[in-house]
Each structure stands twice: as C-alpha cells, then as structure tokens.
Structure 1
C-alpha cells in the first residue's frame, strides 16, 4: 500500500506523462503533410479555337518547398479532370499522356483512359510483374484540352478521383497503403484571350486615335 506522499507523487507523474503525450500528439498532427493533386498552373491563357496542354502533378508533402514525390513511390493513381462541356473538350484518349512508369492498369494491360463530355479520366499503375519499386515522379498526366469558348470567356478546371466508389483504390503507395483519404485536389481557370498581334494592333490603333485627336484639337 502506498503512503499518501507516494500516491501524490504517482498522480503527479501520471499527469505529467499525459500532458507530454497530448503535446506530442498535437505536434505530430500539426506536422503531418497533406497530399494534393494539382495543375501545373493556377491559370491558363488560350486563343479562341486553340488547345491548352495541362499537367496534373502530385505533391506528397505540402509542408516542403516544391512538389514532393510519394515516399516509397506510387503503385497506382487515378484522376478525373472536369470542365464545362460547352466550353472545352478532350477529343479522344490520345490526348491523355501518362508517364512511362504508369502506363499499366496494374495487371499487365494498358492504363485506363476515358473521355466524355466535360471529363477526361485516367487510371495508371506501375507494372507489378516487372517493377521493383514504385513510381517516384510527381507528374501524373498531361492532357490536351481543346478550347470551344469565345474570346473573353473563361471556365474552370477541377480535379477529382478516377472513381468515387469507396471500394475502388485510386492512389496507393508501393507498400500497399491507400492514400485516397489523405488526398485533396486543386483547381485552375482557363482564360480565352486574343492573339498577341491583335493586342499590338489594338495598342497601335489606340495610339493612332490619340494622335489624330491631338492634331485636330484647336490651336
């Protein structure tokens, strides 16, 4: 049986241990890095009737500078790029390019590439029959989007998982850990702009108009 002094000492030790544990948990939570899939630019400028090439990148540590690869490498990844189908389109799956290391469905067949009105989807994996490590890059896909919008218009690009089904594993690291719950997604905007020559001519036209008005003013 403990004496009153020993009981107080034990209680104080328990309290100190609990406080230290709480602090350590808080620090660990604050230092936890998030995964984010994002576009290579926050905004793209495109000419009327032209196309824009966008890259989808992965940053496995948002607390560090620059995009960081997944520790241990990726086993698979799955993304969907969405946009207004009246303002843009992806013509066919040839407009979706994946890194060489991710050009498999994980079972020895080609990656899953799909296009639909307002969407381009891709699921790629390392070839588990030949790969000895996970994909260590940060580039997930390059997609060519044809602009249908008119001059002065703009529209959003958004990212999401290839499949929203809770039973489908999109992002998995080389050790087999499912990353979907840790992943967030970025957005971007596409602006339809005039050709640089048109802007230059507009500037020259404006300057000419000002010169004409200056010459015509009363003496």
Structure 2
C-alpha cells in the first residue's frame, strides 16, 4: 500500500539528500501534476528496479538517446535498463546504448515507455515480474536537479521498429548470460558503480555473497 509512511521509508532508506526536497503528493494530485522545478518518480523504480539517485551516466544516455522523460518510463523499463547495466558492469563491460539495443526494442504502452525483447536476440532477463501492482499511483515529486540532463516529454505514439543485426559472435554478447532480476543492497550496487553510496564503516569491503561465500564482482552463469 502506498502511503506517506512508505514514502518516508524510501526517503530514509535510499538516503535522499534534504536539498532534493522529495515530496509526497497532496490528496488528489496525479503523477502529471508535477510542480515547477520538480520531476515525478515512481516508487517501483527503487523497490523493484535497483534505481538510485543520482542516476548513472548510462541511465542518462538511455533517456537522451530514446528522447523521453524519466517520468514516462515504466517500472519494467527501469528493471530492464538496470539489469542490463548490472550484467555489463559485473562482467567488466561498459554498458552502452548500442549494446542495449542488441537485446531490446523501444515500445510504448498506454502512454509509458518500456523495452521489449528484440525477436532474434537471446533473452538476458529471465523470470521478470509480470506486473507492478498499482505502480502508477505510487509516485512522488523530487527536485529536477537529481537528473542533471535535459529530458523532454515525448508525445508521439509512433515508434519505428528497428531491424538490427544481432552480434551473436562478439565476445561481449556471448558473455552476457540470462539471469533473473535481483534486488541488490547498496554494497553490491556501489561495487559495480551503480550507486554512489558506500558502507558506513570504511573498513567494510563490498562483497557479493553466494552460498555463504564471498565472490568477486563478475557475475557467474551459475548465479
């Protein structure tokens, strides 16, 4: 259930800075009622999609390339973008729009943008969430400075279908294996440069634990 209590948990849990001025909506406000100088974000970006603020350069490049505003993005789009970014970084690869396009095609559904699997490409995200319950109602406002890029509201429903060759024999393509989406803590995301948060105690070293053992940050196919 989305209420001010859960909103405040997100603000505290994800360590929003006071100057970001995150605001819970007033009664009757919709996600489109964004105050001047603010943007709208959805709770499921954080709870399901491993999204963090400030956003990474790769997230900014996705928004810039496809030309839509982050508030027009569905939670599933966020899941796919961040899952792809994690796979790349945990394999020592730099995530790029061109690599992302090898797997995904831009789609639009009821006014929100997402990414569908490119038909001939292998699936790198398995067992994704089927739906995000009432996600459109779970929103808040935050200062636009948290996304230091120019974002535009894309109005057209027309999306060109891209017919791209699939780089099946390239090293980076073969290294990205199918994995489920996982919700990671700050230590894991910080270790792969997907969060600027660090452990509170400086002697802590981020370690990915699997079967009770610490592992280096190269995502194994067995995970």
TM bucket by the smaller chain? under 0.3
TM-score by length of 2: 0.21
Q: Which of these two proteins has the greater Rg computed from alpha carbons?
A: 1
TM-score by length of 1: 0.21
